[in-house]
Amino acid sequence: MNKRRVVVTGLGAVTAIGNDVAATWEGLVQGKNGISHITKYDTENFTSKIAAELKDFDSSAYVAPKEARRMDPFTILGIAAGSMAVEDSGLDVEKEDSSRIGVMISSGIGGMEVYHNEHKKLLERGPRRVSPFFIPAMIPDITAGHLSIKYGFMGPNYCTVSACASSAHALGVAYMHLLNGDADVMLVGGTEAVITEMAMAGFCSLKALSTRNDDPEHASRPFDKDRDGFIMGEGAGIVVLETLEHAKARDAKIYAEFGGYGFSGDAFHITAPRSDGAGQCLAMKRAMEVAGLNPEDIGYINAHGTSTPHNDRLETGSIKLALGDHARNVAISSNKSMFGHLLGAAAGVEFVSTVLTLKNGIIPPTINLFETGEDCDLDYVPNKARECDVKAALTNSFGFGGHNAVLCVKRFDD
């Protein structure tokens, strides 16, 4: 395999616990809850009435109000997080070869809000009232297009769509582009904004969401015996990846090294994870192999940890399969306990969190873990952050359709 090294030089994030990276990280360390009753629409007829909505987010610093009216919220959030990442990286866009900088921003669903609104217009007022901006606002790849246009980046430009693994696949594929010499820099991650009536109705019908409506603060409880479903979140997580050679040449600050990726398929069921954990295990093993690591080198796993009965039990089993006896020595936690499940953006935000875990030597907790559930018997860092010297970590993402993607982050050592 090509021995180029890939590093992380810029971070951007918007979540229900913070409108930028610093606030999100502070919230993660403090175990902050971002979940409350939904305010976007009337939830009277919905079985789940709670979600992790953004709080007082002002998009005007990133997108002009006139332009914002032509975009779905998922694109606005992606532009915001992408802009943060570029600024944080210190890239001097004017001095860079724009053909060597690519953009991959994923979304699991895309413009669900604009779809809902325009479909309502169609039914009530006829086809001539549907906006000419409907299609470009809805399609999942459009955020990558907007960021490419904003900065003039002309390298590889597209998105991956694999449900809740979408931005993990984007990060892994961007890593490949850098290793293959297709680009020197990649702006990559995910964005999602589907706290809408249509999306929530669909997930309610699947019985995938928590119905702990009377206690939203404790509704997302990964690995807890009383977990009853996931909590929808919204937001974006985007990073700047570079070859080490390019980062050094411009004297960039380096947060961490992107060690490798592992992709696999469950070949089992459209929504349920494979019952023997083989697919998830395979992805974890492949990520470690690409990174040149053994199970004993892994100190932390940022779990998929959705707070659903099936995922948490089966993910625990797959971690045991992949790491063997070392699984009991690894700290594991779920960011989703605090800012919910961001679907296609989850892996992007959780990658940012994992990078900061290694950089700062602090593992965010799994909040609302009062008593572990059946077959959930590993170290989930319950309720309180932990100082820990982590040299390498995995971050897990598993999507409907049996899509598994695991990323490996390593502490940067020159």
Amino acid at 370: F
Is residue 177 within 8 A of residue 356, CB to CB? The reply is no
List residues bridging with 262 in a β-sheet. Answer: 406
| Angle separating helix axes 73-89 and 142-151, nearest 10 degrees | 40
Catalytic residue, candidates 146, 341, 376, 408: 341
Q: Which residues contact 270 (CB under 8 A, 6 or more apart)?
A: 400, 401, 402
Closest-CA residue to 297 (of 261, 329, 262): 329
Note if 177 is an active site residue: no
d(CA 367, CA 220) in angstroms, rounded, equals 8
Is residue 43 within 8 A of residue 49, CB to CB? The reply is yes
Note if 169 is an active site residue: no
| b/e sequence 321-335, b meaning 16+ C-beta within 10 Å | bbbeebbeebbbbbb
Catalytic residue, candidates 146, 159, 164, 376: 164
Note if 269 is an active site residue: no
Residues in the chain: 414
d(CA 319, CA 215) in angstroms, rounded, equals 30
Catalytic residue, candidates 304, 376, 403, 408: 304
Sign of torsion over alpha carbons 260, 266, 267, 270: negative
Residues with a known catalytic role: 164, 304, 341
